[in-house]
């Protein structure tokens, strides 16, 4: 069943206040509340998932570290990374958590293809999207979801032209030595806005939603 979804462009916004706003939205929504997708770019921050292990934070340096409530381990957010937060009523949309994760990964892969990056793929038992870079699989998008009372928040982060050096301060997503890459390194000249709009459109399509 197609469901209406509202798109919100938040620009560059603090991670903690955005996370709190997602929690508030989810706590207050009811059966008639429209689903929403929030597109945002965060100042530099490390986030550790609900079951995240602190030893995967190797050297945070001056970058803030936030213990959050999404799934997954530790990741980095920063300027040049498109973050799409997906606030969906799973039951109303006819989705399960696993099918939502698959839809988000499919949306990222379709976005990458549209923006000129080929060969995007999944990696068994490691949620997210990967590309072949310098002979090895490198992570280009990370994913983490929280479900509360049948509704989701958090979402997916796609590296456009983000500075990758802060990933050296962590084991990305809990995998020591995991290489990360951005779209610029993969030869894409797409702008942040172009990628943001494409990703949003692909999420809407792959999740079976309609823009209100």
Per the structure block, which two tokens stand in for 26?
Answer: 């989810």
CA 61 to chain centre: 23
Query: Do the Cβ atoms of 134 and 144 come closer than 8 Å?
Result: no
Which residues, other chains included, contact 49 with Cβ-Cβ below 8 Å and sequence gap of 6+?
Answer: 68, 70, 71, 72, 73, 74, 144
| Beta bridge partners of residue 12, listed in sequence order | 41
* Catalytic annotation present for 173: yes
Rounded Cα distance between 61 and 119, Å, is 34
Which residues, other chains included, contact 17 with Cβ-Cβ below 8 Å and sequence gap of 6+?
Answer: none
Rounded Cα distance between 124 and 121, Å, is 10
Given 151, 173, 200, 207, which residue is catalytic? 173
Question: What DSSP designation does 117 have?
Answer: -
Rounded Cα distance between 47 and 192, Å, is 22
Which residues, other chains included, contact 18 with Cβ-Cβ below 8 Å and sequence gap of 6+?
Answer: 10, 38, 40, 42, 85
Residues with a catalytic annotation lie at: 173
């Amino acid at each position: 069943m197609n469901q209406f979804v509202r798109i919100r462009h938040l620009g560059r916004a603090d991670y903690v206040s955005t996370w709190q706003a997602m929690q508030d939205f989810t706590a207050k929504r009811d059966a008639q509340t429209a689903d929403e997708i929030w597109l945002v770019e965060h100042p530099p921050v490390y986030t550790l998932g609900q079951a995240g292990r602190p030893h995967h934070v190797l050297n945070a340096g001056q970058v803030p570290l936030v213990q959050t409530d999404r799934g997954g381990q530790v990741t980095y957010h920063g300027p040049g990374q498109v973050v799409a937060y997906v606030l969906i009523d799973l039951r109303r949309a006819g989705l399960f958590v696993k099918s939502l994760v698959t839809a988000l990964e499919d949306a990222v892969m379709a976005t990458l293809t549209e923006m000129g990056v080929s060969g995007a793929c999944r990696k068994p038992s490691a949620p997210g999207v990967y590309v072949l870079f310098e002979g090895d699989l490198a992570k280009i998008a990370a994913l983490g979801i929280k479900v509360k009372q049948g509704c989701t928040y958090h979402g997916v982060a796609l590296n456009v032209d983000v500075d990758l050096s802060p990933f050296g301060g962590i084991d990305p997503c809990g995998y020591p030595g995991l290489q990360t890459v951005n779209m610029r390194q993969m030869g894409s000249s797409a702008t942040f806005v172009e990628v943001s709009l494409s990703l949003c459109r692909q999420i809407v399509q792959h999740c079976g939603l309609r823009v209100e």
